[in-house]
Amino acid sequence: MKRIGKSAVVLLAVSLLLGLLAACSGNGGNAGNGNNGTDGAGTANGGTGANAGNDGAAAGSGELATIKIVQPGSEPTEAKKRWDAVNAKLKADGAGVQVEFQYIGWDAWEQKTNLMLSTNEPFDDLTIMEDLIKTSVYVGRGALQPIDAYLAKYPDLKNKFTDEVWNGIKVNGKIYGIPVINREWANDYELISYRSDLFAKYNLPVPTTFQGFIDAADQIKKAEKDQNLFVVMKPNFLAGALHREYGTYPFNVIDDLIYVDQSGNVKSWMETDEFKQDWSYFHQMYQKGLIHPDILTLPLDQVTKPIVDGEFIFDLGNGFFDYPTIKQKKPEVEMDAVRLAPEKQWMRPIVATNANVIPKTSKNPEAVIKFYNWLYSSQDNYDLLVYGIKDDWWKDAGPNKREALRPVGNEVQFSEWTMGYGPFTRIATNAHPKLFDTLQLSDKAVNAANVGFTFDTTPVSVEYANLLAEIKTSVYPLKMGVADWDDFYPGALKKMKAAGLDKVVAEYKKQFDAWKASK
C-alpha cells in the first residue's frame, strides 16, 4: 500500500512529492523513517493496494449507504455514465457505499454552501479550499464533524498519510478533513507562467523583475491589439511570485489578513509596506488594461478562463497544468515559467490547500470514510473516478502516465484537485514537458513558519467571519489594483479594524507564539 511519508529514493514525480512533503510538514522531522511503519519508498509495510479496501468491504455488507458529495464548478461531461461505473465497482467491491455528486457554480459557491450549512441541509462531503475558507473557520461555526474515531476504524486510509500530515491539519486537536496533497506548492505559489510564443514573437527577453513583466505585457497587448489578453491572478491567491523580490521574503500571508515571516513575526498584512507595494504593481496593470476590468465581480472560473483559453500574457502560479487544454484551443501557444530572485530560498506556504470534510448534517459520516478508504485503496478505483472510463477517456501509458483521449472541445473533466492523491496521479502524455519537474519536491524549498500551526478561530469567530466578508470589499479592490490608494485605503483600513482586525491579529499572534514555544 502506498503511503505518503518520507521517501528515500526518487520513484515518480508525484510519489516523491507526496512522500517528502508529508515528512517536511509540521516540525520537519523524520516522519518517513522506519519508526513510522513506512519503507524507504514511502509505502506502508505489510499492505497492498489489493487488500487496503478490506476495512470498507467488511463494514459494507447489507444495505448501501448513499453519500452526497458537494463540489464547486461544473459537472463532468457524461457524469451519469461515470457515476454509474463508479457505483457499480463500489458495489462489486463490497464497499457498502454509493455516491452522488452535486455541483455548485463558482459564482454561487460560498453563498450556497454557507446557506446549506446554516439551514442544516443534509449532505455528506464538502470539498473545501484552505485559501478560500479554512477548515478552522468552518469548525468555529460548528459546521463540521471530527473524523478521528472513524479513521481509527479504517487504518489503511489513515496510513495513507503520516502522522505529521494529520497533525498539521488538526483543529483543536481533532481531525476534520481528508487532505488533498498532490504537488509542490512552492511552485504553485512562486512561479510566473508566461506565453513564451508571444515573448519570442516580439523578441522580448524573459524579464527578471516583476516590473519587467508588467512592461513586457503592456508592450505585447498593444502590439497584439487584443483587448482580451490579460494578466491573470485570482483575488484570493497568494502573490508569492512577486513577493520573492521583496527584501523581507520569505514570508507568508494568511487569508489576506495576517503576515508571518520566517522569524515568527506576526502583524496585520494590509498595514505592511509589502501590501502597498503589491497594490502599486497591480494598480499599474489595472490602469494599463492588463487586469480584467470586472476582476472583482467575476466568478473564479471566469477569472482563470483566459488561461485555459490561451488568452493570457502571464499568470501567477504553475500554469503547466492547463497546457493540454490550452494547446487544444490555441495550438500556437507555447508556455514557460520563471521564478524571480532565483538566488533566494523557495518557500512552501501550505502543505494541503484542499480537503474533504464531513458537515454536521451528514447522516452517513462513516460511509464517507468508507468511500475514501475504497478510493485510495487501488489505482483502478482512483482512475475510474478521476480520469473516467478507461479507453473512453484515457489509455494506460505506464505507471503514473496516461494518454488523454478526452476531454475534447467543450467537454469537462473531473477536477482532480478535489480528491487528488499523489501516488496515483497520472500525468498525461501530452502534458507540458516541465510539468514533471514542477511536481517534485525541491530541497530548495522550506516550509513557511506557520506550517503545522492551526489557528483556532473560536475566540474570535464573529470577528473572523466579519473580516472574511469585509476582505472582498475592502482588501480585494486594493490587492487587485482597482482602487486608488489615497482615496480608498484609509476608509478600507477603518472598516477592517471595525470588523475586528486588531483583535484577530492579536489572537493569532498569541496562539502562534504559544505553538512555537511548545515545539
Instruction: Categorize the per-residue pLDDT at 410 as very low, low, confident or very high, splitting at 50, 70 and 90.
Output: confident
Does pLDDT of 458 surpass 50?
yes
Residue 46 reports pLDDT greater than 60: no
Least confident range of 53-57, 175-179, 202-206, 254-258 = 53-57
Mean of pLDDT values over 204-213: 98
CA dihedral 421, 136, 65, 180 (to 10 degrees): 0
Q: Which residues pair with 259 in a beta bridge?
A: 253, 267
Q: Give the model's pLDDT for residue 441.
A: 73
pLDDT at 485 over 60: yes
Percent of the chain past pLDDT 70, that is, above it, reads: 88
Q: How confident is the model at residue 502 (pLDDT cuts 50, 70, 90)?
A: very high
Q: Give dist(CA 190, CA 348) in Å, integer.
A: 9
Q: Which of the residue ranges 169-178, 448-457, 495-504 has the most confident prediction, judged by mean pLDDT?
A: 495-504
More confident residue, 398 or 1: 398
Once rounded to an integer, what is the mean pLDDT over residues 445-471?
91
Residue for cell digits 530541497?
443
Beta-strand pair 125-129/258-261: unpaired
Decide the pairing of beta strands 266-268 and 258-261: antiparallel
371 and 97 Cβ atoms separated by less than 8 Å: yes
267-286 average pLDDT score = 98
Least confident of 2-16, 25-39, 136-150, 504-518: 25-39
Cα distances from 446 to residues 19, 262, 347, 514, in angstroms, run 15, 10, 5, 22
Handedness of CA 394, 385, 315, 454 (dihedral sign): negative
Predicted confidence at residue 63, as pLDDT, reads 83
What's the confidence (pLDDT) of residue 47? 32
CA 468 distance to own-chain centroid? 18
Tell me the C-alpha distance between 250 and 310, whole Å.
Answer: 31
DSSP 460: G
Q: State yes or no: pLDDT of 160 exceeds 70.
A: yes
Mean pLDDT (whole number) for 333-351: 94
Burial 347-371 (b: 16+ CB within 10 A, else e): bbbbbbbbbbbbbeebebbbbbbbb
d(CA 432, CA 416): 17
A 10 A CB-CB count for 228 gives 11
Q: List, for residues 289-336, the tens digit of each pLDDT value.
A: 999 999 999 998 899 999 999 999 999 999 999 999 999 999 999 999
Residue 62 has a pLDDT of 63
| 217-258 residue pLDDT tens | 999 999 999 999 999 999 999 999 999 999 999 999 999 999
Q: Which of 130-139, 264-273, 382-391 has the lowest mean pLDDT?
A: 130-139
The mean pLDDT value for 143-150 works out to 97
Question: pLDDT at residue 27 above 80?
Answer: no
Full strand arrangement of the beta sheet holding 312-316: 230-232, 312-316, 192-195, 335-338
Question: What are the residues whose beta carbons fall under 8 Å from the beta carbon of 350, sequence distance 6 or more?
Answer: 130, 131, 185, 448, 451
| Residue 259 pLDDT > 50 | yes
Average pLDDT of the chain to the nearest whole number: 88
Q: Which grid coordinates belong to 370?
A: 468508507
Instruction: Please tell me the least confidently modeled range out of 18-22, 60-64, 137-141.
Output: 18-22
- pLDDT tier for residue 20 given thresholds of 50, 70 and 90: very low
* Average pLDDT of span 266-289: 98
CB contact at 8 A, 452 and 260: no
State residue 124's pLDDT score.
98
Residue 25 has pLDDT above 80, yes or no: no
pLDDT value at position 41?
25
In this prediction, what percent of the chain has a pLDDT beyond 90? 76
Helices and strands, counts by H and E, the chain: 23, 17
Q: Where are the beta strands (DSSP E) in 196-345?
A: 230-232, 251-254, 258-261, 266-268, 312-316, 335-338
- Confirm if 164 and 407 have CB atoms less than 8 A apart: no
